[in-house]
Structure 1
Amino acid sequence: GSVIGRINQDRETGVAGILGTFPTAVPIRIHVKDDALGTEETFGAQIAYDEDFLPVLSGSIAYAAMSRVSDSLGSSTARIRFAIRTNAVDSGVFERRNMYYSAADVGQVAVTELLQAMNMIVTNPQEESDILDLDVDVELTGGRQTAVLVSAVPDKLVVKPGDTVTFKTKIRPYRKPEETLSIPYRVPKAQPAGTLNLDIRGGGFVPVNPLALLAQAGLEIPDDEEKFKSTAEKLDDLAAQGQNNEIIIAPGAAPAPSSEKEMKKRMRAAAKASARAAEREEPKRVTLLGDPKKKDEREKFYAPYVIENVIHATLKVEE
Structure 2
Amino acid sequence: MTNFLESTGLAMLRQLDPEVAHKLALKALSSGLAQLSGPVTSDRLRTEIAGLELPNPVGLAAGFDKNAEVLHPLARAGFGFIEVGAATPRPQTGNPKPRLFRLAKDRAVINRFGFNNDGADVIAHRLASRPEDAVIGLNLGANKDSEDRAADFVSVLNGCAAHVDFVTVNVSSPNTENLRNLQGRAALWALLTGVVNARAKLTRPIPVFLKIAPDLTDGELADIAEVALSSSIDGIIATNTTLSRDGLTSRHAQEKGGLSGAPLFEPSTRILARMSQLTENKLPLIGVGGISSAEHAYTKIKAGASAIQLYSAMVYRGLSLAAEIARGLDSLLERDGFATVAEAVGTDRNKWLQVSG
Shorter-chain TM-score above 0.5: no
Normalised TM-score (structure 2): 0.23
Normalised TM-score (structure 1): 0.24
Structure number with the higher strand fraction is 1
Based on CA coordinates, which of the two structures has the bigger radius of gyration? Answer: 1
Structure number with the higher helix fraction is 2
